[in-house]
Amino acid sequence: MGNYFRNIWLGVWTVLVGMRITINHLVMRKVTNQYPDRYPDLKSLEEAKLVPTNSRNRLFVDKEDCNGCKGCERDCPVNCISVETTRVTPGDTVPLLRSGGKRNLWVTNFTIDMAKCCFCSLCTQACPTSAIVHTSEFEYSEYNRNDLVYQFSPFSPEEAQVKKDMFANYQAEQAAKKAAAAAVAPAPAATQENV
Amino acid sequence: MDLFEIIFYFFAAIVLVSALVVVLSKNIMYSAFSLLFTFFGVAGLFVLLNADFVGITQIMVYVGGILVLIIFGVMITTKVTGVDIKEGISGKLQYAGAGIITLLTAIFLSLMFINGKWITGSSTDVHATIHQIGTLLMTKYILAFEAAAILLLIAFIGAALIGRRKA
Amino acid sequence: METNFIYSLLGNNLLGYLAVCILPLVFLIVYALVAILGELKIGAFMQDRLGPMRTGPWGTIQPIAEVVKLLQKENITPDAASKFLFNLAPFIIFTAAFAAFAVIPFSPKFVPSGINLGLFYIFAIGSFAVIGIFMGGWASNNKYSLLGAVRSVAQIISYEIPAGMAILSIAALAGTLDMNEIITKQSGWFTNWYIFGGSGSALRILFLPFTFGIFVIYLIASLAETNRTPFDIPEGESEIVAGYHTEYSGMKFAMFFFAEYANMFVVSALLTIMFFGGWNSPFGDFMSGPIWAVVWFLGKSMSFIFLQIWLRWTLPRLRVDQLMYTGWKVLLPISFVCFFAIALLAMLK
Ligand code: SF4
Ligand code: SF4
C-alpha cells in the first residue's frame, strides 16, 4: 500500500520535474542556425561558434608545411588524394618547412578530389606536420564535378617539370660519375660491388 | 409544414432507413454501424418530445455502451460478411418462425396503438425535467431504482467472477 | 433569461439558427489555425529549435500553408476498404467533436444551445467519436488501423469512468448540469471557483485536496480521451504507423486533425467551466461583462490548451499496461474518494 502511494507521488513529481525542464527550455536561447536565410559570418567570433569547431568541411593543405610523405594518400579510404613527389636535388635552394623541419621532397603534384572525400578525417591524423586540415568552409558546391578537384602543389606543372628534370639530370650525372668511376676501378672490385 | 415537422420526419426517416439496413444487411459490421444512426434518430425524436434527458441518456447508454460492446463482439467473430441463416429446411423454418413472430408483434402493437390511452401533457416546463426525474426516482420509484442498482451490482460481480476464473 | 445575443439580433428564425451554428464553426477554424501554430512553435521552442520560420514573418502563416497542402493532396480510398464506412468515419468524428460546441458557453450572452443538461450532453456526445474511430479503423481494412481503433476505444471507455466521476462531483457541487448555471454559481472572486470548493464557508479549505485532486483526475482523463500524448497509444507512430487514421489522406485526414483540435478545445473549455469559473472574471466585478467574459473564457481555455501542448512535449508515450494501470487502479479509486468527499462538501453547504 505504501508502495502504491509512493508510486503515485513519484509519478506526479517526475512529471512536474519534466515540465519544469521543458518550460525552462521554452524561454532559453535557441540553437537553430537559419543557414541559407542568414549566412553565418565566419569571421565574427560569435557567429563562428555556429559552425562547430570540430566540424569536418573542405580540406586545406599548407603547401609550405607538407613534406610529401604521402601518409595522407595511403590512409585515405576512398583514394581521393593523390600525391606525387620528387627528390630534392642536392645543392638546390630549399626553404625549411614552416614547422621547422628539413625538406627532402618536392611535392610536384597534390590533388584532393573533394567530390569523393567522405570526411573521415583519417588524412589529417596521418599527417606528421599537420599540413592537411579541415577548414570551416562548408559551402563549395560547383557546377562541374572536376572543379571539386583541388590542387595543392606549390608548383605549376611547368615548374614541377623543371624540378623533375633537375633531379633526373642530377641522377644521370651521378650515374655517369659512377660509370666513370667503375671504368677506372679494377675489375675484381666491380664484381665485388655487384655481389 | 413547420420546422418541427420537418425535423420530426427527418429523424423518423433516419430511424426507419437505418433500422432497415440493420435488418437487411448481409454484413454484420454494416448492421452494427447503422445501429448508430438508429440510436441517434431515436435520441433526436426524444429530444423533439422535450424529453432531452431521455434522449441524451439514450446516446450515453446505447451508443456509448451497448453499441461499442456489440461492435467489439462482432469484430472478434471471424465471419463478418455473409453469415448464412437460410440454408436447408431449418432455414425455411427460421423464415416461417420469424414471419409469425413479426406478424404477431405487429398485430399486438397496432392493437396497443389503437386502444391505448395516451397521456398528453403540456410541454411548457422543459427546463426542469432532470429535477423532476431525480426527485421521482428518489421517492416514488425508489424500489425500481434500487432493484436496478442491485441487478447491476450482481452483473458486476458476475462479470468479475467470470473474468477471474482460471482457464 | 436570454442566453443568446444572436437570437435577439436576428430573431428566433432559421437565419438565427444558422448563424448560431456557424459562429462556433468559424471560431473552431480560426482557433485550430492558432492551435496548430502554437503546437509547432511551442514544441520547437521546448526543444531549443525555432520551428517554422519561412512562411510569413516568424512562420506565422504556416498553419494556413498546411491546410492548403492537405486540401491539395489526393484523396485516397484503399481498394480493399469498405468504401462507404471509410468515407463516413471522418465526418462522424468531426461531427461528434463539433456537436460538443453546442453547449459551450462562450459568454453569458452566447451559448449556442442553453439546454439544462449541458455537462451530461458533452459527456454523451463523446461516444459518437468512439464509434467513428471504430468505423475508420475497421473500414480501412488494415491491421494497424484496426489495432489503433481497438486501443483507442479501450482507452476511451476506461478513462470515461474517472472523467464521469469528475463531472458527477461538479454536478453534485453545483446541483445542476446547466453550463451557464454552473458558471454563475462560481461568480465572485476566484476563491469561489470549484477548484477551491465553490462559494461557502471557510470550511471548504479542508476539501481543497479533493477538489484539486478531482481536477487533476479530469485533466488526465481528458488527455486520454482526446488521444493526446502521453496517451497517444492509439496513434503510436513507432508501433502502428498512425493508428486508426493510417489510411487517410488529404481532406479526410484533415477532418481527423480538426476533430483532435476541436476535442482539445472542448476539454479545455470543460476544465475552465467546471473548475475555473468559466467566463467569470477572477476579480469579482472587475473587468466583467459579456465582452470581457469572452476574453476570460478564451484566455482560460487557451491556457489549458497550452498546458496540453506543454505536456505533450514533455512526456513520452505510456505503455498499454501502464495506461490501464493508471486508469483503473489509480484514477478510479482516487476519483471515488474525491467524489465522496466532494459530495460531503456539497451536503455541508
Ligand atoms: S577526409 Fe578521409 S576521405 Fe577525405 S581526403 Fe581525408 S582520408 Fe580521404
Ligand atoms: S600526410 Fe601531410 S605531409 Fe604527408 S603528404 Fe599528406 S599533407 Fe603532406
Per-residue HEC secondary structure of A113-167 comes to: ECCCCCCCCHHHHHCCCCCEEECCCCCCCCCCHHHHEEECCCCCHHHHHHHHHHH
Q: Where residue B154 falls among pLDDT bands split at 50, 70, 90?
A: very high
What separation in Å is there between the alpha carbon of A139 and the centre of ligand 2?
24
DSSP state at residue B27: B
To test ligand 1's pocket by mutation, which of A58, A78, A150 has the most ligand atoms within 8 angstroms of CB?
Answer: A78
Chain B segment 110-149 residues within 8 A of C by beta carbon are 127-130
Chains interfacing with A (3 or more CB pairs < 8 Å): C
CB-based touch B/A (3+ pairs, under 8 A): no
Does a structural domain hold residue C73? Answer: no
For residue C153, the one-letter residue type is V
Looking at CA atoms only, how far is residue A53 from chain C in angstroms? Answer: 20
Q: Give ligand 2 pocket residues (Cβ under 6 A).
A: A 61, 66-72, 83, 126-129, 131-132
Looking at CA atoms only, how far is residue C261 from chain A in angstroms? Answer: 22
Percent of chain B's residues with pLDDT above 70: 84
Cβ–Cβ below 8 Å for B68 and C157: yes
Q: Which residues contact C310 (CB under 8 A, 6 or more apart)?
A: A19, A22, A23, C42, C46
Residue minimizing CA distance to atom 3 of ligand 2: A66
- What is the dihedral sign for C-alpha A85, A87, A92, A98? positive
Nearest one of C28, C1, C87 to C265, comparing CA atoms: C28
Q: Does C337 reach chain A within 8 Å, measured CB to CB? A: no
From B29, B30, B53, residue closest to C117, measured CB to CB: B53
Does a structural domain hold residue A111? Answer: yes
The 3-state DSSP class for residue A106 equals: strand
Does a structural domain hold residue C156? Answer: yes
Q: Which residues of A touch C (CB under 8 A)?
A: 8, 15, 18-19, 21-23, 25-32, 34, 37
* Per-residue pLDDT at B127: 60
Q: What is the pLDDT of residues C8-33, one digit of tens each?
A: 666 666 777 787 788 888 888 888 88
Domain that holds residue A111: 59-177
Ligand showing the shortest atom-to-Cα distance for residue A71: 2
Does a structural domain hold residue A126? Answer: yes
* Per-residue pLDDT at B107: 93
Q: What is the pLDDT of residues C127-151, one digit of tens each?
A: 788 888 888 888 888 888 888 888 8
Contacts of C14 in chain B (CB under 8 A): 3
Does a structural domain hold residue C47? Answer: no
Q: Which three cell numbers stand for residue A188?
A: 675484381
Does a structural domain hold residue C43? Answer: no
Ligand showing the shortest atom-to-Cα distance for residue A152: 2
Q: Which three cell numbers stand for residue C254?
A: 484533415
Q: Before C333, cis peptide (omega within 30)?
A: no
* DSSP letter for each residue of C129-198: HHHHHHHHHHHTT-HHHHHHHHHHHHHHHHHHHHHHHHHHHHHHHHS---HHHHHHHT-SBGGGSGGGT-
Report the nearest atom of ligand 2 relative to the CA of A73.
Answer: 6
Ligand showing the shortest atom-to-Cα distance for residue A110: 2
Q: Which residue has the higher pLDDT, C199 or A176?
A: A176
DSSP state at residue C12: S
Does a structural domain hold residue A131? Answer: yes
* DSSP letter for each residue of C232-254: -GGG-HHHHTTGGGTT--HHHHH
Contacts of C43 in chain A (CB under 8 A): none
Please give the residue of chain C at the shortest CA–CA distance from A23: C46
Does a structural domain hold residue C291? Answer: yes
Does a structural domain hold residue A172? Answer: yes
Please give the residue of chain B at the shortest CA–CA distance from C153: B68
Distance between CA atoms of C69 and C63, rounded to whole angstroms?
10
> Maximum Cα–Cα distance for chain A, whole Å?
109
The neighbour count for residue A143, using CB atoms within 10 Å, is: 5
Cβ–Cβ below 8 Å for A19 and C311: yes
Chain C segment 270-329 residues within 8 A of A by beta carbon are 310-311, 313-315
Distance between CA atoms of B140 and B27, rounded to whole angstroms?
45
Q: Where residue A57 falls among pLDDT bands split at 50, 70, 90?
A: confident
* DSSP letter for each residue of C82-121: -HHHHHHHHHHHHHHHHHGGGG--SBTTB-S---TTHHHH
Q: Where residue B86 falls among pLDDT bands split at 50, 70, 90?
A: low
* Per-residue pLDDT at C258: 86
From C46, C49, C314, residue closest to A32, measured CB to CB: C49
Residue A150's φ and ψ, nearest 5 degrees, are -100, 145
Distance between CA atoms of A23 and A1, rounded to whole angstroms?
33
ipTM field: 0.77
Q: Which residues contact C154 (CB under 8 A, 6 or more apart)?
A: C324
Does a structural domain hold residue A99? Answer: yes
pTM check: above 0.80: no
Looking at CA atoms only, how far is residue B110 from chain C in angstroms? Answer: 33
Does a structural domain hold residue C94? Answer: yes
Question: Is the per-residue pLDDT at A195 higher than 50?
Answer: no
Q: Which residues contact A130 (CB under 8 A, 6 or more apart)?
A: A65, A99, A124
Does a structural domain hold residue A115? Answer: yes
Q: Which residue has the higher pLDDT, C79 or A195?
A: C79
Residue minimizing CA distance to atom 5 of ligand 1: A117
Contacts of B72 in chain C (CB under 8 A): 150, 153
Q: Where residue A40 falls among pLDDT bands split at 50, 70, 90?
A: low
* Per-residue pLDDT at C1: 43
Residue minimizing CA distance to atom 8 of ligand 2: A66
Q: Look up the CATH number of the domain holding residue A127.
A: 3.30.70.3270
Which residues sit opposite A85 in a β-bridge? A107
Contacts of C53 in chain A (CB under 8 A): 32, 34, 37
Q: Which residue has the higher pLDDT, B3 or C132?
A: C132
Q: Which residues contact A88 (CB under 8 A, 6 or more apart)?
A: A94, A103, A104, A105, A106, A167
Does a structural domain hold residue C343? Answer: yes
Ligand showing the shortest atom-to-Cα distance for residue A84: 2
Which residues sit opposite A61 in a β-bridge? A132
Q: Give ligand 1 pocket residues (Cβ under 6 A).
A: A 59, 75-78, 80-81, 112, 117-123
- What is the dihedral sign for C-alpha C88, C90, C94, C97? positive
Cβ–Cβ below 8 Å for B67 and C177: no
Number of domains in chain C: 1
Q: What is the pLDDT of residues A101-130, one digit of tens each?
A: 788 888 888 889 988 899 988 988 888 888
From C46, C48, C313, residue closest to A31, measured CB to CB: C48
Residue minimizing CA distance to atom 8 of ligand 1: A76
**In which residue ranges of chain C is pLDDT below 50?**
1
Domain that holds residue C179: 79-348
Q: Where residue B150 falls among pLDDT bands split at 50, 70, 90?
A: very high
Cell 611535392 locates to A107
Question: Is the per-residue pLDDT at A146 higher than 50?
Answer: yes
Residue B121's φ and ψ, nearest 5 degrees, are -110, 170
Number of domains in chain A: 1
Q: Which of A16-20, A24-28, C9-13, C312-316 has the lowest mean pLDDT?
A: C9-13
What separation in Å is there between the alpha carbon of A125 and the centre of ligand 2?
10
Does a structural domain hold residue C229? Answer: yes
Contacts of C126 in chain B (CB under 8 A): 64
Distance between CA atoms of C301 and C268, rounded to whole angstroms?
5
Residue C295, classified by CB atoms within 10 Å of its CB into exposed (0-12), middle (13-18) or buried (19+), is middle
